[in-house]
Amino acid sequence: MIESAPKRVTIRDVVRMKRDGKKLVVVTAYDVLFAKLVDSAGVDIVLVGDSVGNVVAGFETTLPVSLDQMIYHGRAVRRGIRRALLVVDMPFLSYQASEESAIMNCGNVMKQTGADAVKVEGGTEEMVQTVGRLTRMGIPIVAHLGFTPQSIRTIGMRVQGREEADAQRMVDQARKLEDAGAFSLVLELIPSDLAQRITEAIAIPTIGIGAGPHCDGQVLVLPDLLGLNDEFAPKFLKKYADLAGTVREAVQRYGEEVRSGAYPDADHSN
């Protein structure tokens, strides 16, 4: 008997989940192996984040990540996903310069990776216009407000929206991004009460990271939640495993057995 393919999560499903009161589960992935694992674990959305620059390439920020890198990792993740919705981050300067370059670059990412949508940062009037143009061209968009990593040099890595004027501006930006056609909104490093205000103000789902419990879903960087990076421990991060310790222990045992001659033994030799 041939096993039938699982039903894929669609954009319509994602939007419906908010209406039905179901929380969205989102994680990042950057390669086919982890893509297969998180997909089989039942996540709703897999994000190929430009955080690949930090957690895989070792960059200080996401700024050096190129379009080619995102396409490479997006294609790898696509090959590992059967069910989840696939979203690929657009890297710095791939969509900000002009609407025309945004259309070409976002369209190219979708064509080459097989992504279901792309994610862009910011809520300025120019970005709202770009999101509107992209969605009219048939490119589904996840928007991103709060701490936007590609703006780290100008805003710093800190909680955004603590002042009322900033908070109200973010609420207004969220409404405009929804009106422009974004089907979901990531909220990063903002106060919980502001995340609740935004979540209640718009019909599209919000996905929080460091934004408290009131969002319609949550996203974490996979190596962070797995405890692979034991040097990174912000307040919002809950580590669901200690794989850094597991990996070290396994490699140390391997090294000990190689040095002692215990590996390979007869059971592991041809």
pLDDT at 1 over 80: no
Would you say residue 172 lies in a domain? yes
User: What's 79's DSSP letter?
Assistant: T
List the beta strands (DSSP E) in 125-232.
141-146, 184-188, 206-209, 217-220
Question: 190 with 232, same domain?
Answer: yes
Cβ neighbors of 254 (< 8 A, separation 6 or more) are 263
Question: 104 with 132, same domain?
Answer: yes
pLDDT at 178 over 80: yes
Would you say residue 43 lies in a domain? yes
Residue 130 pLDDT level (bands cut at 50, 70, 90): very high
Q: Which domain holds residue 254?
A: 243-270
Number of structural domains the chain divides into: 2
Question: 148 with 231, same domain?
Answer: yes
Of 33, 84, 29, 28, give the one whose Cα is nearest residue 220.
28
Q: What pLDDT does 81 receive? A: 98
Neighbours of 261 (CB within 10 A): 8
Q: What pLDDT does 6 receive? A: 80
pLDDT at 117 over 70: yes
Residues 49-62: pLDDT tens digits?
999 999 999 999 99
Q: What pLDDT does 2 receive? A: 55
Would you say residue 113 lies in a domain? yes
Q: What pLDDT does 230 receive? A: 87
Q: Hey, is 187 helix, strand or coil?
A: strand
Question: 195 with 235, same domain?
Answer: yes
Would you say residue 6 lies in a domain? no
pLDDT at 10 over 60: yes
> Over the chain, what is the mean pLDDT?
96
Joined tokens for residue 101: 């370059």
Question: 118 with 249, same domain?
Answer: no
Residue 192 — φ and ψ, nearest 5°? -60, -40
Question: 174 with 200, same domain?
Answer: yes
Name the residues annotated as catalytic: 188
Would you say residue 47 lies in a domain? yes
CATH number at residue 91: 3.20.20.60
Question: 199 with 248, same domain?
Answer: no
Question: 119 with 154, same domain?
Answer: yes
pLDDT at 193 over 80: yes
Give the Å distances, CA to CA, from 243 to 31, 52, 240: 17, 18, 9
Question: 250 with 227, same domain?
Answer: no
Residue 150 pLDDT level (bands cut at 50, 70, 90): very high
Question: 91 with 52, same domain?
Answer: yes
pLDDT at 3 over 70: no
Cβ neighbors of 193 (< 8 A, separation 6 or more) are 212, 214
Question: 179 with 269, same domain?
Answer: no
pLDDT at 146 over 80: yes
Distance between alpha carbon 18 and the CA centroid of its chain, in Å?
18
Cα torsion for 18, 178, 11, 216, to the nearest 10°?
A: -30
Residues 82-101: pLDDT tens digits?
999 999 999 999 999 999 99
Question: 45 with 157, same domain?
Answer: yes
Averaged over 23-35, what is the pLDDT? Answer: 98
